[in-house]
Amino acid sequence: MSNRPWRARRPALVVLALAAAALPWSAASAQPRCIDENAAASSSAAAPGPAASTPANGEATLTAATRARGTLQTLVRDAIARSHQVGAARLLADAAEDDIRETRASKALQASVGGGFGPGGSQSLAGTETSAMQLRGSVNVGQLLYDGGRIDRLVDWRTQMAESARHGQLNAQEQVALSTVSLALERGRYQQHTLVYGQYVRKMACLVDALQTIVRADRGRASELVQARKSMQQAEISLAGAQSQLRAVEVRLRRLVGDNLPSTDGLPTLLLDVEPLPRLVADVERSSEIAALTAQATAAQHYSDAVAAGGSPQVGWNISGSQAIGRGGSRGSTQNGSWAIGITVNVPLLSPGLAPATDAARKRARAIELQRAEVLEAKRFRVADLHEQTLASFDRLRRTEAVLKDSEQLRNFTLLQWQQLGRRSLFDVMAAEAEHFNLRVSVANALADGQQLNANLLSLGRGVNEWLR
């Protein structure tokens, strides 16, 4: 099947003329308004299939696809830059990196100074001494040497949480990209609807004008004029509905990308190739959501190890000193100081809450692993379901295009039979026209549905962002 847009292959719809010489109306005067506008459908959908047979058409299709891909890349880039959701995810990822540095600094050299001012005193075997006013100062320097690996496990925990936050940012970007691409495809769908229904309205208006000429000569044909006018009004209702849906989609798209909406030319040439199901299923594990859950499960395991290490001895070194200067009191002016240097050891002897805390942490780690397995399995079945829907949509597209070709021939034959031979009624002509334009809308719907399903398939795996790149 050709990738070229669906265009009319038959001559343009000629004016509705009567063969009988008794009906005095001019076909030539109505003909300019009755030209078939199918060839003007610049945004017509293109069915997936082999490239056009001529090199010129192939190059034109490739150029259109390249431009359309560039348009989508620009839209997605603007949407990501404007998204508050992505901005929040980026800040959370940056904060997680800061958490790593904070935890790692727990093993670095620590130093502090302190001071105080006020009454003071001391007590010893020699008695109690007091000072009416005392100035005190202290300094303390130390570093942790060993804690059973607790801080190292906390660093590992923070590192995996930062990895999860990074994938969370990528997942947020992917969701914004998918929404942008979906809305761009929806915009193309309703632009095509507007184009088709606009042509349908003009065809019916042409028919109404022709019948008005006929009715002036033959009042018995007034019912046909009423029927044609009714069909034109129904077409106008469909056109107004399509225009309203188009405006609604553009409002949602502007919220994501801003006011500058580019043309949708070339979009029907994208997202037509459906990848094999095994590859799509394998790509599920590459998704940002699964990667984030994997990092969370690993982080939870490291955290449980850190909790367990809380019962280990802690060893460090420490240098401390203090100085006090006093005035008044029982001894008058005094000045004394002290200092100490050495190794500090802290051995937990009794910690009843340690074992339950460790068990709880390990159970939470296992729970996250099961959540990841559940999401992974659900995504794989979702991929299989979407893959079938995508293939069915593109199959419906090809079948509808085939029916559309027959519909084009039918409408031409019906018109000629009514116009020249009198073997068909006006109602047959209008039914053929309505079927033809409705089939064109069905083609646009099948194409847009297939493209959106294909975008969702990519989003469940390697992502629309990577596909665009």
Name the band, by pLDDT with cuts 50, 70 and 90, for residue 374.
very high
Of 420, 169, 151, the closest CA to residue 309 belongs to 151
The number of CA neighbours under 13 Å toward the Cβ of 430 is: 23
Number of Cβ within 10 Å of residue 220's Cβ equals 8
What percentage of the chain reaches a pLDDT higher than 90? 50
Amino acid at 448: A
Of 147, 164, 163, 150, the closest CA to residue 305 belongs to 150
Of 82, 454, 444, the closest CA to residue 253 belongs to 82
Task: Among 212-226, 238-252, 301-315, name the one with the lowest average pLDDT.
Answer: 212-226
Of 156, 99, 97, 162, the closest CA to residue 302 belongs to 156
291-306 mean pLDDT: 94
Of 39, 418, 440, 10, the closest CA to residue 210 belongs to 418
Give me the residues paired with residue 115 across strands: 137
Give me the residues paired with residue 314 across strands: 346
Task: Identify whether the C-beta of residue 257 lies closer than 8 Å to the C-beta of residue 82.
Answer: yes
Spatial distance between the Cα atoms of 352 and 357, rounded to a whole number of angstroms = 9
Residue 335's pLDDT is 76
374-379 mean pLDDT: 95
Backbone angles phi, psi at 129, to 5 degrees: -120, 140
Spatial distance between the Cα atoms of 62 and 56, rounded to a whole number of angstroms = 10
Sheet arrangement for strand 334-346:
110-124, 127-146, 314-327, 334-346
The H-or-E segment that residue 118 falls in is: strand 110-124
Residue 373's pLDDT is 95
Cite the DSSP H helix spans in 258-353: 277-283, 288-308
pLDDT per residue over 237-268, tens digit each? 999 999 999 999 999 999 999 888 888 888 88
The highest-confidence range among 44-53, 109-118, 166-175, by mean pLDDT, is 166-175
Instruction: Please list, residue by residue across 172-208, b when 16 or more beta carbons sit within 10 angstroms of its beta carbon and e when fewer do.
Output: bbbbbbbbbbbbbbbbbbbbbbbbbbbbbbbbbbbbb
Q: For the CA atoms of 428, 429, 435, 439, what is the dihedral angle to 10 degrees? A: 150
pTM, entire model: 0.79
Q: Give yes or no for residue 445 having a pLDDT over 50.
A: yes
Of 231, 285, 251, the closest CA to residue 433 belongs to 231
pLDDT per residue over 38-64, tens digit each? 544 433 444 444 333 445 555 666 687
376-397 mean pLDDT: 95
398-412 mean pLDDT: 91
- DSSP label at residue 294: H
Spatial distance between the Cα atoms of 66 and 468, rounded to a whole number of angstroms = 11
For the chain, the domains span: 27-82+147-312+348-468
Number of Cβ within 10 Å of residue 107's Cβ equals 16
What's the CATH number for 27-82+147-312+348-468?
Answer: 1.20.1600.10
Q: Is 221 helix (H, G, I), strand (E, B) or coil?
A: helix
Residue 137's pLDDT is 85
CA angle, residues 148, 153, 159, in degrees to nearest 5 = 160
Of 469, 411, 466, the closest CA to residue 438 belongs to 411
49 CB-contact burial (10 Å; exposed 0-12 / middle 13-18 / buried 19+)? middle
